[in-house]
Chain A
Amino acid sequence: MKLILVAGFVFFQAMLTGIVYADYAPQEFTNPEQKERYIDLIEDLRCLVCQNQSLADSNADLAQDLRQEVYEMVTSGDSNEDIIDYLVARYGDFVLYRPPFKSTTYLLWLGPFIFLLIGVLIVISILRRQKAVALDEEERRYAEQLLDEDHTGNKK
């Protein structure tokens, strides 16, 4: 048991280091505000090659090139919108981890709320149906009679 715990811990650690120490290609910044923007951007842009990693996480060649591109644009004074437009024009909305709200993504954005609404409707209909099972006079009397008895059937 202890061994399993230790193994699990080591595995977890390995996973953590994998995430934290991906090749970040440290860049030189003279302006701390630009550095912050650069890091925010590459963490929010998706790598096209390893699709579940951001540009910051990925070691793929293309991710390195795109990081370089973002770096050059940030240091030459382009705004975040300029940089995002530049990448979207080439790779599509796919590079964004936050897809824009437009006709092709309505279902994506609204889907959860639609399912929530369906769930609420189902709950309401179940509750309504339960209310419909009210007791009539005779059943009520029988129920009261049962409640008045103890488990051996004698009156309390």
Chain B
Amino acid sequence: MWKKYTPLLIFIILVVFLGVGLRLDPRKIPSPLIDKPIPVFSLLQVKDASRTLSSSDFNDDVSLLNVWASWCVSCREEHPILLDLAKKGVVNIYGLNYKDDRNDAVRWLDYFGDPYRASAHDLEGKVGIDFGVYGVPETFVIDSKGIIRYKHIGPVTEEVLNEIILPLINKLRNPMS
């Protein structure tokens, strides 16, 4: 009796597997840096080349590190969200300006607005490699001890912000609740 339904059963199993496969995003590669301290770095700042931004600056509070570049089109997509976050003072946002011309970067910030407390100028992309950057924009959530807790690849959307990043920031600030 059940033999009649075997092809249907196989078909349903196939559809389920293919359906799951379609939903996976092969561009989202899990980062081995999660729950590890941020790589040690010290770079000159984009706007003020006499000052540096370094890994030790991430030790006072939960912060975001956003990897951006003036040549990166999808960075413009997430930019209003970062500006809004900065305006509300929810969290410190630092930038890693990845393989960019300093003048272009400064002009980009002047034009679109600057949500960053500071941006590090990574002209050669070496620090980017240490952070495992492979697709700009990327956003790291870093706790007050300088440990990477989350990495988002691609532009930050309202959805990602409200469902993942903001709850995580709250949890990192109040581990008891």
Q: Contacts A61-B99, A65-B125: A90 and B29 contacting too (C-beta < 8 A)?
A: no
Flag the segment in B1-9, B74-82, B130-138 that touches A. Answer: B130-138
Which residue from chain B places its CB closest to the CB of A89 in the assembled complex? B32
Check if A92 sits within 8 Å of B29, measured CB to CB: yes
Measured between beta carbons, the chain B residues less than 8 angstroms from A69 are: 129
Q: Complex formed: what's the CA distance from A115 to B135 in Å?
A: 36
Residue A51 interfacial (CB < 8 Å):
yes
Residue B31 interfacial (CB < 8 Å):
yes
Residue B85 interfacial (CB < 8 Å):
no
Residue B19 interfacial (CB < 8 Å):
no
Measured between beta carbons, the chain A residues less than 8 angstroms from B130 are: 90
Q: Contacts A48-B134, A49-B134, A65-B129: A92 and B32 contacting too (C-beta < 8 A)?
A: yes
What does the 1/0 interface line of B103-140 toward A look like (CB < 8 Å)?
A: 00000000000000000000011000111111100000
What does the 1/0 interface line of B3-32 toward A look like (CB < 8 Å)?
A: 000000000000000000000001101111
**Chain B interface mostly helix, strand, loop or mixed?**
loop
Check if A94 sits within 8 Å of B129, measured CB to CB: no
Measured between beta carbons, the chain B residues less than 8 angstroms from A62 are: 125, 133-134
Residue A113 interfacial (CB < 8 Å):
no
Of the candidates A90, A91, A94, the one having the most CB atoms from chain B within 10 angstroms of its own CB is: A90
Q: Complex formed: what's the CA distance from A114 to B83 in Å?
A: 52
Residue A39 interfacial (CB < 8 Å):
no
Residue A146 interfacial (CB < 8 Å):
no
Partner of A92, one of B27, B129, B132, B135: B132
Residue B91 interfacial (CB < 8 Å):
no
Residue B33 interfacial (CB < 8 Å):
yes
Name the interface residues of A75-113: CB closer than 8 Å to any CB of B. Answer: 88-94
Measured between beta carbons, the chain B residues less than 8 angstroms from A88 are: 32
Measured between beta carbons, the chain A residues less than 8 angstroms from B31 are: 91-92
Q: Contacts A61-B99, A66-B129, A69-B129: A91 and B134 contacting too (C-beta < 8 A)?
A: yes
Check if B26 sits within 8 Å of A90, measured CB to CB: no
Measured between beta carbons, the chain A residues less than 8 angstroms from B132 are: 90-92
Say how far B68's CB is from chain A's closest CB, in angstroms: 15
Measured between beta carbons, the chain A residues less than 8 angstroms from B124 are: 65
Q: Which B positions have Cβ atoms within 8 angstroms of A?
A: 26-27, 29-33, 99, 124-125, 129-135
Q: Which A positions have Cβ atoms within 8 angstroms of B?
A: 48-49, 51, 61-62, 65-66, 69, 88-94
Can you report 10 A-B residue pairs in the complex whose CB atoms are below 8 A from each other? A49-B135, A61-B99, A61-B125, A62-B133, A65-B124, A69-B129, A90-B129, A91-B132, A92-B30, A92-B132
